[in-house]
Amino acid sequence: MYSSIKVISIRDKHNGRKPVRNKSAIICAILLSVLFVFGCSSADKTVKEGDIGAIVTTLSEKGITISAQFLDKKMLYDRFGTRNNPFFEYEGNRVIVIDFTMSARYEVRFRLGKVEVDYLGNRSRPVSRVEFNQYWEGLLRNPGAASTGSPYKYRDWSYSTVSKVITENVLPDSLDIAPGPEYRGFLLLEGIQGRYGTAKITINMYDLTGKRIHEFIFLIDV
């Protein structure tokens, strides 16, 4: 976003040019414009999750339609409750949950390993279903996790229930999409506690021979 200020000289009948009198106002306006541009371009935003959780972004190209929605804490609480709900932590950090819906007019393939993420200036990959499940298995099946340390709050949780929630909702490493029905699943990103911003998520869709069909780029406030 850019902002420009055009200063127009004012001529008078005596000397052909009249100096601009309100120079201090113009200087202040220029400084404010510079601050505004830097503020708008910042990748690390101060926002509340409740302001952005309701937004759904849909992209359609080459007969493929993909929709994405960031799920904030309230939405996750409403859907899964507070017990046996793994979508609030990963490796001690904030886990970012994005609900994806995919459909196509012909057979296509989604590959999690080909998804690219640029978030808060860092490039990374999504957290896989296997990685997420292994994290919670170690946390809940650790003999000391039920009574000591930070996992104490999970003492009444069931790993089998948590594992089922993960398997039923998190996108697999590979997904073949048949024409017609919608396929739905969560894409998980490792975030940072207390920090929010815009995530650039690039999803490449392939045909069943492995040839890339199209690149979908989502910009999502998370």
Looking at residue 156, what is its pLDDT?
87
What is the Cα–Cα distance from 74 to 88, expressed in whole angstroms? 11
Q: What pLDDT was estimated at residue 32?
A: 47
- Provide the pLDDT for residue 25: 52
120 and 182: one domain? yes
Q: Looking at residue 194, what is its pLDDT? A: 80
Are 138 and 184 contained in the same domain? yes
Q: Are residues 111 and 188 in the same domain?
A: yes
pLDDT at 212: 97
Helix (H, G, I), strand (E, B) or coil at 194: coil
pLDDT of residue 99: 98
Task: For residue range 94-121, list pLDDT tens digits in order.
Answer: 999 999 999 999 999 999 999 999 998 8
Contact 98, 55 (CB under 8 A): no
Shared domain for 176 and 199, answered yes or no, is yes
Instruction: Divide the 222 residues of the chain into consecutive groups of 10 and give the mean pLDDT of each group.
Output: 32 43 50 43 38 80 97 95 93 93 98 95 93 94 56 82 97 96 96 87 97 97 92
For residues 54 and 132, membership in a common domain is answered with: yes
pTM over 0.75: no
Q: Is 121 in the same domain as 31? A: no
Provide the pLDDT for residue 49. 43
* Cα angle 24-27-33, degrees, rounded to a multiple of 5: 140
Q: What Cα–Cα distance (Å) separates residue 51 from each residue in 74, 134, 142, 191?
A: 11, 32, 37, 18
Domain check: are 19 and 113 in the same one?
no
155/53 same-domain check = yes
* 34 lies in the same domain as 55: no
Per-residue pLDDT at 28: 46
Show the domain range for 103: 45-221
Count the domains in the chain.
2
CATH number of the CATH domain containing 53: 2.60.40
